[in-house]
């Protein structure tokens, strides 16, 4: 039966006088110990990695993308396969985002440039001219062109929920309008109040209808998504609005200026109910992760570990390095000496550099395994530091080492 009892969140340990906490998200497909990094498998696949390799990094859950899976292969096929987990051979918890980011980045957002750093960025950098747009927004939903074949499609909150319900993820995100930091204050207000909030309510009601229609299916949670850019009053307003409704959790979304990430998250989480999980969409830089966790974020996702890995970058405690550097040509040590990932236990920098120079696809796999393990492990250690009361000293020492070459 699809009952709410199959999804819940419990707080395990709180930092004194702070929003940071460890906890457990209980889903029909298993538990997620939080804080946790959620690995992204956009098209029901983590690029260049098998699900078994992903599990080997310590990842607890995967996030797929409703927009991409709607276009290919379609939610109907995934539903026939028994849902996302069975389709891709992942036994653990799964998330799907609503598709709003992808659809709307074709429209008001230029490509996917929704800058977290407004310095030196103009509106022309992030807002596409109308003739270049591939999506058009109205108060009911979004019309967009498929990037695959140019065909026209329409997403509404109801359609997004129907797609996510068909895909069968444990945690689904409400459909919202993506805005950029270059949008005006007036536009942010109108977008939040006339689209994102009404769309969230429509998303929730549609999933409630689908649950009632299919009580035999596992419970699918709905997270409301908060917008409001860098404006404290808008963030607090939407947090209060979301808190008054029956969402199972919350996604903190929208374009956020990097330097203000912590305070923006704090504004939201000071108001949102403590007994429900909070997810931050699309962050992967270690300083952003620490800031998010410190201010009460439980889970977050990003494609960065595999993306930068495919471009030759690998994580170390002293920052990111690039394997193509000449100094690694005869370096027969692992990417990171004390790393327990499969790559570092079996391969050397010299060999992985050879794979890149030879354009062998195995290079992408080995780098992705290492990078995912590094980030998953980092967030696991954040959780442990909350539980043993050493979070702040761990954060300060870790970031000082990682960013030691950062210019002042």
The answer, yes or no, to whether residue 78 has pLDDT greater than 60, is yes
* Catalytic residue, candidates 97, 176, 288, 298: 97
Three-class SS of 181-218: CCCCHHHHHHHHHHHHHHHHHHHHHHHHHHHHHCCCCC
Over residues 214-241, mean pLDDT: 96
Identify the pLDDT of residue 181: 83
Q: Indicate the DSSP class of residue 178.
A: -
Among the ranges given (87-96, 97-106, 251-260), the one the predictor scored with the smallest mean pLDDT: 97-106
User: Which residues on adjacent β-strands are paired with residue 249?
Assistant: 223
- Residue 255 tokens read as 């374009």
396 is an active site residue? no
Average pLDDT over residues 237-247: 98
- Mean pLDDT computed over 361-380: 98
Cα Rg of the chain (Å, integer): 21
CA separation for the pair 144, 64 (Å, rounded): 20
Give the predicted TM-score (pTM) of the model: 0.92
**Mean pLDDT over residues 244-265, rounded?**
93
Kindly report, residue by residue over 23-36, the tens digit of the pLDDT: 999 999 999 999 99
pLDDT digits (tens, 9 = 90+) for 135-158: 788 899 988 888 888 899 999 999
Q: Coil, helix or strand for 52? A: helix
Dihedral over Cα of 288, 290, 296, 299: its sign = positive
Q: What is the pLDDT of residues 160-203, one digit of tens each?
A: 999 999 999 999 999 999 888 888 999 999 999 999 999 999 99
**Angle between helices 157-167 and 197-213 in degrees, nearest 10:** 40
**Tens digit of each residue's pLDDT (9 = 90 or more) over 306-326:** 999 999 999 999 999 999 999
Average model confidence (pLDDT) across the chain: 91
CA distances from 246 to 59, 111, 201, 204, 221 (A): 28, 33, 9, 8, 10
CB atoms within 10 A of CB 8: 17
Angle subtended at Cα 286 by Cα 95 and Cα 184, rounded to the nearest 5 degrees:
75
Point out the catalytic residue in the list 176, 248, 288, 301.
Answer: 301
Residue 408 has pLDDT above 60, yes or no: no
- Of the CA atoms within 13 Å of residue 321, those in its CB half-sphere come to 18
Q: Which two tokens stand for residue 302?
A: 């990003």
Q: Which structure tokens are listed for 214?
A: 């299919």
> Is pLDDT above 60 for 128?
no
Paired sense of beta strands 299-302 and 135-137, if any:
unpaired
Residue 278: the pLDDT is 98
Q: Read off the pLDDT band of 125 (50, 70, 90).
A: very low
Q: From the DSSP assignment, how many helices (H) and strands (E) are in the chain? A: 17, 16
Residue-wise pLDDT tens digits, 269-288: 999 999 999 999 988 799 99
Strand order of the β-sheet with 30-34 is 8-14, 21-27, 30-34
Between strands 249-252 and 221-226, the pairing is parallel
Query: What is the mean pLDDT of the segment spanning 346-350?
Result: 98
| Span 68-87, average pLDDT | 97
Domains and CATH numbers, the chain: 4-302 (3.20.20.105), 313-402 (no CATH)
List the structure tokens of 317. 């405690």
CA distance 52 to 250: 29
Rounded Cα gap, residues 242 and 239, in angstroms: 5
Q: What is the DSSP letter of 219?
A: P
Please tell me whether residue 173 adopts helix, strand or coil conformation.
strand
Q: Map residue 366 onto helix, strand or coil.
A: helix
Asked if residue 127 has pLDDT above 60, the reply is no
What is the rounded CA–CA span in Å between residue 101 and residue 301? Answer: 13
The span from the CA of 199 to the CA of 220, in Å, is 18
Q: List C-alpha distances in Å: 202 to 197, 198, 349.
A: 9, 6, 51
Q: Is 97 a catalytic residue?
A: yes
Asked if residue 334 has pLDDT above 60, the reply is yes
The whole-angstrom separation of Cα 122 and Cα 4 is: 45
Where does the pLDDT of residue 102 fall: very low under 50, low under 70, confident under 90, or very high at 90 and above?
Answer: confident
Residue 147 is predicted with a pLDDT of 85
Residues paired with 375 in a beta bridge: none
């Amino acid at each position: 039966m699809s009952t709410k009892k199959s999804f819940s969140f419990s707080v395990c340990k709180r930092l004194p006088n702070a929003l940071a906490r460890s906890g457990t998200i209980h889903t029909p497909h298993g538990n997620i110990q939080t804080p946790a990094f959620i690995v992204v498998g956009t098209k029901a696949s983590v690029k260049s990695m098998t699900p078994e390799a992903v599990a080997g990094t310590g990842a607890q859950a995967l996030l797929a993308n409703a927009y991409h899976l709607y276009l290919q292969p379609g939610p109907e096929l995934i539903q026939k396969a028994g849902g996302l987990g069975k389709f891709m051979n992942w036994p653990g918890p799964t998330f799907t985002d609503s598709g709003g980011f992808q659809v709307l980045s074709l429209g008001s957002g230029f490509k996917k440039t929704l800058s977290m750093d407004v310095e030196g960025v103009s509106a022309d950098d992030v807002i596409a001219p109308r003739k270049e747009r591939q999506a058009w927004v109205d108060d009911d939903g979004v019309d967009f062109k498929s990037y695959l074949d140019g065909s026209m499609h329409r997403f509404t909150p109801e359609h997004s929920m129907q797609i996510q319900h068909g895909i069968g993820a444990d945690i689904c995100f409400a459909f919202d309008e993506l805005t950029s930091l270059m949008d005006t204050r007036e536009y942010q207000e109108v977008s939040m109040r006339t689209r994102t909030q009404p769309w969230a309510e429509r998303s929730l009601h549609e999933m409630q209808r689908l649950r009632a229609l299919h009580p035999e299916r596992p419970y699918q949670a709905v997270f409301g998504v908060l917008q409001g850019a860098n404006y404290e009053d808008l963030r607090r307003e939407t947090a209060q609005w979301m808190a008054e409704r029956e969402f199972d959790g919350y996604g903190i979304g929208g374009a956020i200026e990097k330097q203000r990430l912590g305070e923006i998250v704090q504004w939201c989480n000071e108001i949102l109910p403590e007994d429900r999980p909070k997810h931050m969409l699309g962050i992967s830089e270690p300083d952003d992760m620490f800031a998010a966790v410190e201010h009460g974020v439980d889970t977050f996702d990003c494609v960065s570990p595999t993306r930068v890995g495919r471009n030759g970058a690998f994580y170390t405690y002293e920052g990111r390095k690039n394997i193509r550097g000449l100094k690694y040509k005869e370096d027969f040590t692992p990417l990171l000496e004390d790393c327990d990932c499969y790559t570092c236990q079996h391969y050397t920098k010299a060999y992985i550099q050879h794979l890149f120079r030879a354009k062998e696809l195995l290079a992408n796999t080995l780098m992705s395994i290492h990078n995912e393990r590094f980030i998953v492990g980092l967030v696991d250690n954040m959780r442990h530091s909350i539980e043993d009361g050493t979070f702040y000293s761990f954060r300060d020492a870790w970031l000082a080492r990682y960013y030691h070459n950062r210019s002042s």
